[in-house]
Amino acid sequence: MLSFTMPNLSPAGCRGPELSFGDPEAEFRAACSGMGITDNSKFGRIEVTGNDRLDLLHRLSTNSLIGLRAGGVVSTVFVTDKGRIVDRVIVSSREDSLVLITSPGTEQLLTQWIEKFTITEDIRLNTITGDTVMASLIGPRMISMFSPMLDSPSGESTSVLLAREGTNLFVVHSKDSRSDVAHIITDKDSAPRLLEMLDSLPGARWIGGRAYEGFRIARGISASPGELNDEYNPFECDLRDSISFTKGCYIGQEVIARLDTYGKIRRHLARVESPRAIPGTTPLPLSNNGMEAGTLTSMTEIPFDGKYLGLAIVRNDVAAAGDWLAAGGTGVSVLLTGNSSDN
């Protein structure tokens, strides 16, 4: 039986014993081809109430939230008036509230951003990260198990409140072109019971921070702080799935529309790999034959299948798949293997 640190489950990616559960390579394979369970309690969670909650968040982010009914789930991006990323957020709707799943540690930033534009609207934001825990199930076997429970077609994001053996679980299924994940949220006092339930799932394997990071990078999923920050716009981080091109005005909408309409997107998210570890930490500048080519934004600490995997934001006119790019002054180069959206 595995055990978690209380009051929160040990967050994925932490520098503790859950960096791996003994075999990160096997954990990585479970996430890619089976079913992996990871502790994502580090991700932020905000409960939003008030009559104007949907209307205000609709006007502040890139995707359409108007008409989102209880059980609905939408991925959206909050951007600045210059179209730069504040955070990507999963919005799940309940009967009388919304639950926002944010990047790790961005709850306060996002709350302040929303409050900045709140004037007379009836809306209240309550950070519940410290009062809850969140485990996430990933991998192709996950959806076959949870679709019947969620009473939803496999291609549809949805959420449901479940009562299991005296424990209330809020399950948020979020699916887009890059990922298919079920987040399970419960109060921190119910964490031991949730652990027992997850431990009993047939064929599931716990994965630590190293394997989860490898899975994220291999799938081309942007994350904070490497990709999701105010240096980049949503297109550069492959977040087109989180943008509505038919809704009305929102903060940054003019810039986003102009970038799309006039083909002004000059950089893109790409996968890279290296046979050697890269010293230092990201971000690192990338160059191609002496020309500035972009930025290495994420890199795995250990090799998977003998390769160190990474993500980079690269210039369309300087770098292409098959190019070797020098990583800063490290003496190591990375191979650009393709766009993040390539299968």
Over residues 61-108, the pLDDT tens digits come to 999 999 899 999 999 999 999 999 999 999 999 999 999 999 999 999
- What does the alpha-carbon distance between residue 270 and residue 313 come to, in Å, rounded to a whole number? 6
> pLDDT by residue (tens digit) across 280-324?
899 999 999 999 999 999 999 999 999 999 999 999 999 999 999
Give the chain's largest Cα–Cα span.
62
> pLDDT by residue (tens digit) across 208-220?
999 999 999 999 9
- 103-133 burial: b if 16+ Cβ within 10 Å, else e: bbebbebbbebbeeeeeeeebebebbbeebb
- What does the alpha-carbon distance between residue 115 and residue 271 come to, in Å, rounded to a whole number? 36
User: Which pLDDT score is estimated for 322?
Assistant: 97
How many structural domains comprise the chain? 2
Same domain, 119 and 164: yes
Domain that holds residue 70: 1-262
User: Which pLDDT score is estimated for 166?
Assistant: 78
Higher pLDDT, 310 or 342: 310
Same domain, 25 and 148: yes
User: Which pLDDT score is estimated for 1?
Assistant: 31
Average pLDDT, the chain: 90
Same domain, 310 and 181: no
Same domain, 93 and 242: yes
- What does the alpha-carbon distance between residue 313 and residue 285 come to, in Å, rounded to a whole number? 10
Q: Which residue in this structure is represented by tokens 């950070």?
A: 127
Using the predicted structure, report yes or no on whether residue 2 has a pLDDT greater than 60: no
Same domain, 44 and 148: yes
How far from each other are the two terminal CA atoms of the chain, in whole angstroms? 36
- What does the alpha-carbon distance between residue 276 and residue 41 come to, in Å, rounded to a whole number? 31
Task: Provide the sign of the torsion angle of the four alpha carbons 298, 184, 54, 148, taken in this order.
Answer: positive
Domain boundary among 208, 241, 262: 262
Same domain, 55 and 149: yes
Same domain, 185 and 153: yes
Same domain, 183 and 116: yes
Rama region for 21: left / alpha / beta (φ>0; ψ in -120 to 50; rest): alpha
> pLDDT by residue (tens digit) across 6-28?
323 443 333 333 688 889 999 99
Same domain, 281 and 148: no
CATH code, domain carrying 53: 3.30.1360.120
Same domain, 28 and 159: yes
- Tell me how far CA of residue 196 lies from CA of 39, 141, 176, 292, in angstroms: 14, 19, 29, 51
Closest CA to 55 of 71, 66, 64, 46: 66
Domain boundary among 234, 262, 290: 262
The region of weakest confidence among 128-142, 168-182, 215-229, 260-274 is 168-182
Same domain, 193 and 295: no
- What does the alpha-carbon distance between residue 17 and residue 196 come to, in Å, rounded to a whole number? 19
Domain boundary among 237, 262, 287: 262
Q: How confident is the model at residue 146 (pLDDT cuts 50, 70, 90)?
A: low
Q: What is the mean pLDDT of residues 154-163?
A: 77
- Tell me how far CA of residue 45 lies from CA of 42, 102, 165, in angstroms: 9, 6, 24
- The fraction of the chain above a pLDDT of 90, given in percent, is 76
User: Which pLDDT score is estimated for 155?
Assistant: 59
Same domain, 243 and 334: no
Closest CA to 239 of 216, 220, 253, 258: 220
Q: How confident is the model at residue 203 (pLDDT cuts 50, 70, 90)?
A: confident
Burial (CB < 10 A; 0-12, 13-18, 19+), residue 264, is exposed
User: Which pLDDT score is estimated for 152?
Assistant: 55
CATH code, domain carrying 317: 2.40.30.110
